Structure 1
Amino acid sequence: MKTGQLAELLRREFGFSGEESGSMCMAEEIVQNCRKSPALSAQEDDGITKEELLHFMISDLNYLLNPNALQVNEDTLQSPLAHYWISTSHNTYLKSKQVGNCWDGSDGEPIITHGRAGCSAVLFKDVIQAIKEEGFQTSSLPIILSFENHCCAKQQEMMAFYCITILGDLLLNEALEEWPIEPSMELPSPWALKNKVLIKNKKLTSRKQESRKPSRKKVYPSNDHGIIRIQIEVGLESGAENGEPSSLTECPQPVQLADLVNYTQAVPKMPSFADCRSRNMP
Protein backbone atom coordinates (compact mmCIF):
# COMPACT_ATOMS: atom_id res chain seq x y z
CA MET A 1 0.00 0.00 0.00
CA LYS A 2 1.45 3.36 -1.07
CA THR A 3 1.64 6.22 1.41
CA GLY A 4 -1.01 8.19 -0.48
CA GLN A 5 -3.36 5.20 -0.36
CA LEU A 6 -2.81 4.90 3.39
CA ALA A 7 -3.66 8.60 3.80
CA GLU A 8 -6.90 8.04 1.89
CA LEU A 9 -7.66 5.02 4.10
CA LEU A 10 -7.20 7.16 7.19
CA ARG A 11 -9.72 9.68 5.90
CA ARG A 12 -12.28 7.22 4.53
CA GLU A 13 -12.24 4.32 7.02
CA PHE A 14 -10.64 5.70 10.17
CA GLY A 15 -12.63 8.93 10.20
CA PHE A 16 -9.58 11.21 10.15
CA SER A 17 -11.15 14.67 9.97
CA GLY A 18 -8.05 16.80 9.50
CA GLU A 19 -6.86 18.43 6.32
CA GLU A 20 -5.56 16.30 3.48
CA SER A 21 -1.99 17.37 4.22
CA GLY A 22 -2.50 16.29 7.84
CA SER A 23 -3.59 12.79 6.89
CA MET A 24 -0.59 12.52 4.56
CA CYS A 25 1.76 13.50 7.37
CA MET A 26 0.15 10.90 9.64
CA ALA A 27 0.43 8.28 6.91
CA GLU A 28 4.13 9.05 6.47
CA GLU A 29 4.66 8.73 10.22
CA ILE A 30 2.89 5.36 10.25
CA VAL A 31 4.98 4.13 7.33
CA GLN A 32 8.22 5.12 9.07
CA ASN A 33 7.15 3.41 12.32
CA CYS A 34 5.95 0.20 10.70
CA ARG A 35 8.60 -0.42 8.08
CA LYS A 36 10.83 -3.39 8.65
CA SER A 37 13.60 -1.40 6.96
CA PRO A 38 13.70 2.04 8.67
CA ALA A 39 16.52 3.10 6.34
CA LEU A 40 13.98 3.64 3.54
CA SER A 41 12.77 7.23 3.38
CA ALA A 42 9.19 8.35 2.94
CA GLN A 43 10.19 10.15 -0.27
CA GLU A 44 10.82 6.77 -1.90
CA ASP A 45 7.09 6.10 -1.33
CA ASP A 46 7.51 2.35 -1.08
CA GLY A 47 4.57 2.36 1.33
CA ILE A 48 4.01 -0.61 3.61
CA THR A 49 3.34 -4.29 3.09
CA LYS A 50 0.25 -6.20 4.18
CA GLU A 51 2.14 -7.53 7.21
CA GLU A 52 3.30 -4.06 8.19
CA LEU A 53 -0.24 -2.71 7.90
CA LEU A 54 -1.42 -5.50 10.22
CA HIS A 55 1.35 -4.56 12.64
CA PHE A 56 0.03 -1.00 12.65
CA MET A 57 -3.55 -2.15 13.23
CA ILE A 58 -2.63 -4.01 16.44
CA SER A 59 0.04 -1.62 17.69
CA ASP A 60 -0.10 1.25 20.18
CA LEU A 61 -0.22 3.62 17.20
CA ASN A 62 -3.81 2.50 16.57
CA TYR A 63 -5.15 2.73 20.13
CA LEU A 64 -8.92 2.86 20.37
CA LEU A 65 -8.63 4.87 23.58
CA ASN A 66 -6.62 7.89 24.48
CA PRO A 67 -3.45 6.47 26.11
CA ASN A 68 -3.61 9.25 28.71
CA ALA A 69 -6.91 7.77 29.91
CA LEU A 70 -5.14 4.49 30.72
CA GLN A 71 -2.85 5.96 33.36
CA VAL A 72 -3.11 3.96 36.58
CA ASN A 73 -3.09 6.02 39.77
CA GLU A 74 -5.17 6.56 42.88
CA ASP A 75 -7.59 8.90 41.14
CA THR A 76 -8.38 6.43 38.34
CA LEU A 77 -8.83 3.42 40.66
CA GLN A 78 -11.65 4.68 42.89
CA SER A 79 -14.63 3.38 40.87
CA PRO A 80 -16.35 0.05 41.64
CA LEU A 81 -14.50 -3.04 40.43
CA ALA A 82 -17.21 -3.81 37.86
CA HIS A 83 -16.48 -0.53 36.05
CA TYR A 84 -13.10 -1.76 34.81
CA TRP A 85 -11.94 -4.05 32.04
CA ILE A 86 -10.17 -6.91 33.83
CA SER A 87 -7.26 -8.59 32.09
CA THR A 88 -8.15 -12.29 32.02
CA SER A 89 -6.31 -15.44 31.02
CA HIS A 90 -9.49 -17.22 29.94
CA ASN A 91 -9.01 -18.89 26.53
CA THR A 92 -6.00 -16.76 25.70
CA TYR A 93 -4.59 -19.80 23.89
CA LEU A 94 -6.41 -18.31 20.90
CA LYS A 95 -3.51 -15.86 20.72
CA SER A 96 -1.09 -16.95 23.42
CA LYS A 97 -1.07 -19.53 26.22
CA GLN A 98 -4.02 -21.03 28.10
CA VAL A 99 -3.74 -20.89 31.86
CA GLY A 100 -4.93 -24.34 32.91
CA ASN A 101 -7.85 -25.69 34.86
CA CYS A 102 -7.97 -27.39 38.26
CA TRP A 103 -8.15 -31.20 38.14
CA ASP A 104 -7.81 -34.13 40.54
CA GLY A 105 -4.23 -35.32 40.98
CA SER A 106 -3.55 -39.04 41.09
CA ASP A 107 -1.90 -38.80 44.53
CA GLY A 108 -4.66 -36.78 46.17
CA GLU A 109 -3.05 -33.41 45.40
CA PRO A 110 -5.02 -31.06 43.09
CA ILE A 111 -3.18 -30.13 39.91
CA ILE A 112 -3.42 -27.42 37.26
CA THR A 113 -3.36 -28.40 33.60
CA HIS A 114 -5.29 -27.87 30.39
CA GLY A 115 -7.42 -30.96 30.89
CA ARG A 116 -7.33 -33.78 28.35
CA ALA A 117 -5.09 -31.79 26.04
CA GLY A 118 -1.76 -33.52 26.59
CA CYS A 119 -0.36 -30.60 28.59
CA SER A 120 2.02 -31.04 31.50
CA ALA A 121 0.64 -30.51 34.99
CA VAL A 122 1.83 -28.51 38.00
CA LEU A 123 0.74 -28.85 41.59
CA PHE A 124 -1.98 -26.43 42.66
CA LYS A 125 -0.13 -25.58 45.87
CA ASP A 126 3.04 -24.69 43.91
CA VAL A 127 1.10 -22.20 41.79
CA ILE A 128 -0.46 -20.61 44.88
CA GLN A 129 3.00 -20.33 46.44
CA ALA A 130 4.34 -18.65 43.29
CA ILE A 131 1.44 -16.18 43.32
CA LYS A 132 2.21 -15.31 46.93
CA GLU A 133 5.88 -14.67 46.15
CA GLU A 134 5.61 -12.93 42.78
CA GLY A 135 2.02 -11.75 42.32
CA PHE A 136 2.52 -8.21 43.60
CA GLN A 137 6.10 -7.56 42.56
CA THR A 138 5.20 -5.18 39.72
CA SER A 139 1.70 -4.01 40.71
CA SER A 140 -0.39 -3.72 43.84
CA LEU A 141 -3.66 -4.15 41.93
CA PRO A 142 -5.85 -7.03 43.13
CA ILE A 143 -5.42 -10.51 41.66
CA ILE A 144 -8.52 -12.56 40.87
CA LEU A 145 -7.99 -16.32 40.78
CA SER A 146 -10.72 -17.69 38.52
CA PHE A 147 -11.00 -21.42 39.22
CA GLU A 148 -12.29 -23.55 36.37
CA ASN A 149 -12.84 -26.34 38.82
CA HIS A 150 -13.06 -30.03 37.90
CA CYS A 151 -11.88 -31.38 41.27
CA CYS A 152 -13.76 -33.75 43.55
CA ALA A 153 -14.99 -32.56 46.94
CA LYS A 154 -11.94 -33.87 48.79
CA GLN A 155 -9.44 -32.15 46.53
CA GLN A 156 -11.47 -28.93 46.55
CA GLU A 157 -11.01 -29.01 50.32
CA MET A 158 -7.26 -29.18 49.68
CA MET A 159 -7.51 -26.21 47.29
CA ALA A 160 -9.23 -24.13 49.98
CA PHE A 161 -6.71 -25.25 52.59
CA TYR A 162 -3.75 -24.19 50.44
CA CYS A 163 -5.32 -20.82 49.60
CA ILE A 164 -5.86 -20.07 53.29
CA THR A 165 -2.55 -21.34 54.65
CA ILE A 166 -0.23 -20.18 51.86
CA LEU A 167 -1.74 -16.80 50.96
CA GLY A 168 -2.52 -15.84 54.54
CA ASP A 169 -3.42 -12.15 54.89
CA LEU A 170 -3.17 -11.65 51.13
CA LEU A 171 -6.38 -13.67 50.68
CA LEU A 172 -9.63 -11.72 50.85
CA ASN A 173 -11.78 -14.43 52.41
CA GLU A 174 -14.65 -12.19 53.54
CA ALA A 175 -16.30 -8.99 52.40
CA LEU A 176 -14.80 -5.70 53.52
CA GLU A 177 -16.70 -3.95 56.30
CA GLU A 178 -17.17 -0.81 54.18
CA TRP A 179 -18.54 -2.83 51.24
CA PRO A 180 -20.93 -5.50 52.53
CA ILE A 181 -22.51 -7.78 49.96
CA GLU A 182 -26.02 -6.38 50.10
CA PRO A 183 -28.64 -5.23 47.59
CA SER A 184 -27.85 -1.86 46.00
CA MET A 185 -24.28 -1.91 47.37
CA GLU A 186 -21.53 -1.31 44.83
CA LEU A 187 -18.40 -3.41 44.62
CA PRO A 188 -15.26 -2.06 46.27
CA SER A 189 -12.75 -0.26 44.09
CA PRO A 190 -9.43 -1.72 42.91
CA TRP A 191 -7.76 0.80 45.21
CA ALA A 192 -9.61 -0.63 48.21
CA LEU A 193 -8.56 -4.14 47.14
CA LYS A 194 -4.86 -3.40 46.70
CA ASN A 195 -2.51 -6.30 47.49
CA LYS A 196 -5.42 -8.71 47.86
CA VAL A 197 -6.14 -12.04 46.16
CA LEU A 198 -9.81 -12.76 45.39
CA ILE A 199 -11.20 -16.21 44.61
CA LYS A 200 -13.68 -16.57 41.76
CA ASN A 201 -15.52 -19.88 42.03
CA LYS A 202 -19.05 -21.20 42.27
CA LYS A 203 -20.78 -20.50 45.55
CA LEU A 204 -23.60 -22.28 47.35
CA THR A 205 -26.98 -20.64 46.84
CA SER A 206 -29.17 -19.76 49.80
CA ARG A 207 -31.53 -22.62 48.94
CA LYS A 208 -28.72 -25.16 49.03
CA GLN A 209 -27.26 -23.69 52.18
CA GLU A 210 -30.61 -23.98 53.94
CA SER A 211 -30.92 -27.64 52.89
CA ARG A 212 -27.77 -28.66 54.77
CA LYS A 213 -28.04 -30.49 58.05
CA PRO A 214 -25.89 -29.30 60.95
CA SER A 215 -22.22 -29.80 60.19
CA ARG A 216 -19.78 -32.01 62.05
CA LYS A 217 -16.25 -30.71 62.34
CA LYS A 218 -13.01 -32.66 62.46
CA VAL A 219 -10.02 -30.73 63.77
CA TYR A 220 -6.62 -31.80 62.47
CA PRO A 221 -3.26 -31.01 64.10
CA SER A 222 -1.87 -27.61 63.17
CA ASN A 223 0.51 -27.50 60.21
CA ASP A 224 3.87 -25.76 59.97
CA HIS A 225 2.12 -22.41 59.64
CA GLY A 226 0.42 -22.85 63.01
CA ILE A 227 -3.03 -22.86 61.37
CA ILE A 228 -5.56 -25.52 62.31
CA ARG A 229 -7.21 -27.28 59.40
CA ILE A 230 -10.96 -27.77 59.80
CA GLN A 231 -12.83 -30.25 57.64
CA ILE A 232 -16.59 -29.73 57.53
CA GLU A 233 -18.74 -32.75 56.77
CA VAL A 234 -22.05 -31.60 55.31
CA GLY A 235 -25.19 -33.69 55.44
CA LEU A 236 -27.94 -33.09 52.86
CA GLU A 237 -31.69 -33.22 53.23
CA SER A 238 -33.46 -36.38 52.15
CA GLY A 239 -34.19 -35.39 48.54
CA ALA A 240 -31.75 -38.00 47.25
CA GLU A 241 -33.23 -40.59 49.61
CA ASN A 242 -36.60 -40.05 47.94
CA GLY A 243 -35.13 -40.86 44.57
CA GLU A 244 -34.70 -37.20 43.61
CA PRO A 245 -31.16 -36.38 42.49
CA SER A 246 -29.52 -33.53 44.35
CA SER A 247 -27.57 -31.06 42.25
CA LEU A 248 -25.31 -30.42 45.23
CA THR A 249 -24.62 -34.14 45.56
CA GLU A 250 -23.87 -34.48 41.86
CA CYS A 251 -21.46 -31.54 41.98
CA PRO A 252 -20.25 -31.37 45.59
CA GLN A 253 -19.07 -27.96 46.72
CA PRO A 254 -17.10 -27.98 49.98
CA VAL A 255 -18.10 -25.27 52.36
CA GLN A 256 -14.51 -24.07 52.81
CA LEU A 257 -13.99 -23.23 49.13
CA ALA A 258 -17.43 -21.63 48.83
CA ASP A 259 -16.73 -19.50 51.88
CA LEU A 260 -13.67 -17.98 50.19
CA VAL A 261 -15.88 -16.50 47.46
CA ASN A 262 -17.21 -13.00 48.04
CA TYR A 263 -17.15 -10.24 45.41
CA THR A 264 -16.24 -12.43 42.42
CA GLN A 265 -18.84 -15.19 42.35
CA ALA A 266 -19.00 -17.42 39.28
CA VAL A 267 -22.49 -17.62 37.79
CA PRO A 268 -23.75 -19.91 34.99
CA LYS A 269 -25.37 -17.12 33.01
CA MET A 270 -26.80 -13.63 33.32
CA PRO A 271 -30.25 -13.56 31.71
CA SER A 272 -30.86 -9.91 32.61
CA PHE A 273 -29.81 -7.12 34.95
CA ALA A 274 -33.18 -7.42 36.71
CA ASP A 275 -32.50 -11.10 37.41
CA CYS A 276 -29.09 -10.23 38.86
CA ARG A 277 -30.62 -7.60 41.12
CA SER A 278 -33.22 -10.09 42.35
CA ARG A 279 -30.42 -12.51 43.26
CA ASN A 280 -28.27 -9.80 44.84
CA MET A 281 -25.44 -10.09 42.34
CA PRO A 282 -23.16 -7.05 42.57
Structure 2
Amino acid sequence: MQRVTKERCLEIISRFEPTKEGREKGHLGIDGFTAYLLSEECDIFDEEHKEVCQDMTQSFTHYFISTSHNTYLLEDQLKGPSSVDGYISALKKGCRCLELDCWDGPNDEPIIYHGHTLTSKISFQAVIEAINEHAFSKSEYVLYITNQNLIFLLLNIEE
Protein backbone atom coordinates (compact mmCIF):
# COMPACT_ATOMS: atom_id res chain seq x y z
CA MET A 1 0.00 0.00 0.00
CA GLN A 2 1.30 3.41 -0.89
CA ARG A 3 0.62 6.80 0.68
CA VAL A 4 -1.49 5.42 3.52
CA THR A 5 -2.76 8.07 5.89
CA LYS A 6 -3.19 7.77 9.62
CA GLU A 7 -6.94 8.03 9.08
CA ARG A 8 -6.87 5.06 6.71
CA CYS A 9 -4.92 3.01 9.29
CA LEU A 10 -7.46 3.86 11.98
CA GLU A 11 -10.28 2.86 9.63
CA ILE A 12 -8.63 -0.54 9.07
CA ILE A 13 -8.16 -0.97 12.82
CA SER A 14 -11.78 -0.07 13.54
CA ARG A 15 -13.03 -2.59 10.97
CA PHE A 16 -10.75 -5.54 11.73
CA GLU A 17 -9.48 -5.30 15.32
CA PRO A 18 -11.74 -7.58 17.41
CA THR A 19 -10.91 -6.08 20.82
CA LYS A 20 -12.45 -2.88 22.10
CA GLU A 21 -9.18 -1.98 23.84
CA GLY A 22 -7.19 -2.36 20.62
CA ARG A 23 -9.64 -0.19 18.68
CA GLU A 24 -9.58 2.50 21.37
CA LYS A 25 -5.75 2.58 21.46
CA GLY A 26 -5.45 2.42 17.67
CA HIS A 27 -3.58 -0.90 17.82
CA LEU A 28 -4.08 -3.78 15.39
CA GLY A 29 -3.34 -7.06 17.19
CA ILE A 30 -2.46 -10.36 15.56
CA ASP A 31 -6.11 -11.44 15.27
CA GLY A 32 -7.12 -8.14 13.67
CA PHE A 33 -4.11 -8.21 11.36
CA THR A 34 -4.94 -11.78 10.32
CA ALA A 35 -8.58 -10.83 9.69
CA TYR A 36 -7.40 -7.91 7.54
CA LEU A 37 -4.95 -10.07 5.55
CA LEU A 38 -7.67 -12.65 4.88
CA SER A 39 -10.30 -10.07 3.89
CA GLU A 40 -11.38 -9.38 0.32
CA GLU A 41 -9.97 -5.87 0.75
CA CYS A 42 -6.47 -7.27 1.11
CA ASP A 43 -6.89 -9.91 -1.60
CA ILE A 44 -4.36 -9.71 -4.44
CA PHE A 45 -6.80 -11.50 -6.77
CA ASP A 46 -7.86 -9.32 -9.70
CA GLU A 47 -11.65 -8.91 -9.40
CA GLU A 48 -11.97 -8.82 -13.21
CA HIS A 49 -10.92 -12.47 -13.24
CA LYS A 50 -13.96 -13.62 -11.29
CA GLU A 51 -15.54 -13.88 -14.70
CA VAL A 52 -13.92 -15.80 -17.54
CA CYS A 53 -11.67 -13.30 -19.31
CA GLN A 54 -9.73 -15.56 -21.69
CA ASP A 55 -10.58 -17.12 -25.02
CA MET A 56 -12.02 -20.46 -23.92
CA THR A 57 -12.33 -21.94 -27.41
CA GLN A 58 -8.81 -23.36 -27.57
CA SER A 59 -7.65 -26.91 -26.89
CA PHE A 60 -7.29 -27.69 -23.16
CA THR A 61 -3.51 -27.94 -23.63
CA HIS A 62 -3.44 -24.17 -24.14
CA TYR A 63 -4.48 -23.46 -20.54
CA PHE A 64 -3.25 -23.83 -17.01
CA ILE A 65 -5.75 -26.09 -15.27
CA SER A 66 -6.42 -26.06 -11.54
CA THR A 67 -5.59 -29.59 -10.42
CA SER A 68 -5.55 -31.49 -7.17
CA HIS A 69 -3.27 -34.33 -6.09
CA ASN A 70 -4.19 -36.60 -3.16
CA THR A 71 -7.38 -34.60 -2.92
CA TYR A 72 -8.85 -36.85 -0.25
CA LEU A 73 -5.99 -36.38 2.25
CA LEU A 74 -6.67 -33.94 5.07
CA GLU A 75 -3.26 -34.17 6.73
CA ASP A 76 -0.11 -36.13 5.94
CA GLN A 77 0.42 -38.76 3.23
CA LEU A 78 1.43 -41.61 5.52
CA LYS A 79 -1.10 -41.92 8.32
CA GLY A 80 -3.57 -39.02 8.11
CA PRO A 81 -7.32 -39.09 7.65
CA SER A 82 -9.04 -39.11 4.27
CA SER A 83 -12.38 -37.50 3.52
CA VAL A 84 -14.85 -36.88 0.74
CA ASP A 85 -14.81 -33.25 1.97
CA GLY A 86 -11.44 -32.80 0.27
CA TYR A 87 -13.10 -33.39 -3.11
CA ILE A 88 -16.02 -31.11 -2.31
CA SER A 89 -13.67 -28.32 -1.19
CA ALA A 90 -11.49 -28.64 -4.31
CA LEU A 91 -14.51 -28.51 -6.62
CA LYS A 92 -15.97 -25.51 -4.81
CA LYS A 93 -12.66 -23.71 -5.38
CA GLY A 94 -12.83 -24.36 -9.14
CA CYS A 95 -10.53 -27.37 -9.43
CA ARG A 96 -10.91 -29.02 -12.85
CA CYS A 97 -8.73 -32.12 -12.41
CA LEU A 98 -9.11 -34.61 -9.57
CA GLU A 99 -7.15 -37.72 -8.69
CA LEU A 100 -8.92 -40.86 -7.49
CA ASP A 101 -6.51 -43.41 -5.98
CA CYS A 102 -8.71 -46.48 -6.42
CA TRP A 103 -7.97 -49.79 -4.73
CA ASP A 104 -9.85 -53.03 -4.25
CA GLY A 105 -11.91 -52.87 -1.09
CA PRO A 106 -14.01 -55.28 0.92
CA ASN A 107 -16.99 -56.97 -0.76
CA ASP A 108 -15.58 -56.16 -4.22
CA GLU A 109 -16.31 -52.46 -3.67
CA PRO A 110 -13.60 -49.97 -4.70
CA ILE A 111 -12.12 -47.69 -2.06
CA ILE A 112 -9.95 -44.60 -2.26
CA TYR A 113 -6.83 -44.12 -0.17
CA HIS A 114 -3.11 -43.48 -0.42
CA GLY A 115 -2.07 -47.06 -1.14
CA HIS A 116 0.43 -48.95 1.00
CA THR A 117 0.10 -46.37 3.81
CA LEU A 118 -1.88 -46.04 7.04
CA THR A 119 -4.18 -43.31 5.71
CA SER A 120 -7.88 -43.92 6.24
CA LYS A 121 -10.01 -45.26 3.42
CA ILE A 122 -13.11 -43.72 1.89
CA SER A 123 -15.84 -45.17 -0.26
CA PHE A 124 -15.44 -44.78 -4.03
CA GLN A 125 -19.22 -44.47 -4.27
CA ALA A 126 -19.29 -41.59 -1.78
CA VAL A 127 -16.61 -39.76 -3.77
CA ILE A 128 -18.45 -40.27 -7.07
CA GLU A 129 -21.67 -39.02 -5.48
CA ALA A 130 -19.88 -35.91 -4.18
CA ILE A 131 -18.34 -35.28 -7.60
CA ASN A 132 -21.75 -35.70 -9.21
CA GLU A 133 -23.25 -33.15 -6.83
CA HIS A 134 -20.44 -30.55 -6.91
CA ALA A 135 -18.57 -31.00 -10.23
CA PHE A 136 -20.12 -28.00 -11.93
CA SER A 137 -21.11 -25.83 -8.97
CA LYS A 138 -18.16 -23.45 -9.54
CA SER A 139 -17.25 -24.03 -13.18
CA GLU A 140 -19.04 -25.19 -16.30
CA TYR A 141 -15.84 -26.48 -17.87
CA VAL A 142 -14.72 -30.07 -18.30
CA LEU A 143 -13.69 -31.96 -15.17
CA TYR A 144 -10.77 -34.36 -15.63
CA ILE A 145 -10.71 -37.36 -13.32
CA THR A 146 -7.46 -39.31 -13.17
CA ASN A 147 -6.68 -42.74 -11.79
CA GLN A 148 -3.09 -43.92 -12.16
CA ASN A 149 -2.66 -44.01 -15.97
CA LEU A 150 -6.26 -43.29 -16.95
CA ILE A 151 -8.00 -39.98 -17.56
CA PHE A 152 -11.76 -39.62 -17.64
CA LEU A 153 -13.60 -36.52 -18.79
CA LEU A 154 -16.78 -35.37 -17.13
CA LEU A 155 -18.80 -32.94 -19.20
CA ASN A 156 -21.65 -30.74 -18.07
CA ILE A 157 -24.23 -31.51 -20.74
CA GLU A 158 -27.56 -29.83 -20.30
CA GLU A 159 -30.60 -31.65 -21.63
Report the TM-score range of the alignment, normalised by the length of the smaller protein. Answer: 0.5 to 0.7
- 1:89–1:98: 8 Å Cα contact kept in structure 2? no
Identical-pair percentage:
20
Matched, 1:109 2:109: yes
CA deviation after TM superposition for structure 1 residue 111, in Å: 0.9
Q: Which residue of 2 aligns with 1:270?
A: none
**Alpha-carbon distance change, 33 to 93 in structure 1, aligned in 2, over 3 angstroms:** farther
CA deviation after TM superposition for structure 1 residue 48, in Å: 1.5
**Matching of residues 72-91 of structure 1 within 5 Å:** 72-73=51-52, 75-76=53-54, 78=56, 81=60, 82-84=62-64, 86=66, 88=68, 90=70
**Alpha-carbon distance change, 85 to 118 in structure 1, aligned in 2, over 3 angstroms:** closer
CA deviation after TM superposition for structure 1 residue 65, in Å: 2.9
Return the letter of the residue paired with 2:122.
A
Q: Which residue of 1 aligns with 2:96?
A: none
**Matching of residues 163-182 of structure 1 within 5 Å:** 171=153
Matched, 1:69 2:70: no
- Counterpart Cα distance in 2 of 1:59 and 1:89: 27
Q: SS of the residue aligned with 1:103?
A: strand
Q: Which of 44, 47, 66 is residue 27 of structure 2 equivalent to? A: 47
Q: Which residue of 2 aligns with 1:195?
A: 156
- Counterpart Cα distance in 1 of 2:113 and 2:68: 17
CA deviation after TM superposition for structure 1 residue 112, in Å: 1.3
* Count of equivalent residues: 134
Q: Deviations over 1:238-258 (max 9, x none)?
A: xxxxxxxxxxxxxxxxxxxxx
Return the letter of the residue paired with 1:117.
L
Q: SS of the residue aligned with 1:145?
A: strand
Q: Which residue of 2 aligns with 1:121?
A: 122
Q: Which residue of 1 aligns with 2:74?
A: 93
- Counterpart Cα distance in 2 of 1:89 and 1:26: 42
Q: Which residue of 2 aligns with 1:4?
A: none
Q: SS of the residue aligned with 1:56?
A: helix
TM-score (structure 2 length as normaliser): 0.56
- 2:18–2:31: 8 Å Cα contact kept in structure 1? no
CA deviation after TM superposition for structure 1 residue 89, in Å: 5.8
Provide structure 1 residue ranges, at least 5 long, that are not aligned to the other structure.
1-15, 150-155, 164-170, 173-193, 197-282
CA deviation after TM superposition for structure 1 residue 79, in Å: 6.8
- Counterpart Cα distance in 1 of 2:67 and 2:21: 38
Return the letter of the residue paired with 1:71.
K
Q: SS of the residue aligned with 1:117?
A: coil
Provide structure 2 residue ranges, at least 5 long, that are not aligned to the other structure.
76-82, 88-99
Q: Which residue of 1 aligns with 2:145?
A: 145
Q: Which residue of 2 aligns with 1:36?
A: 18
**Alpha-carbon distance change, 117 to 55 in structure 1, aligned in 2, over 3 angstroms:** farther
**What is the CA RMSD across the aligned residues, in angstroms?**
4.0
Q: SS of the residue aligned with 1:93?
A: coil
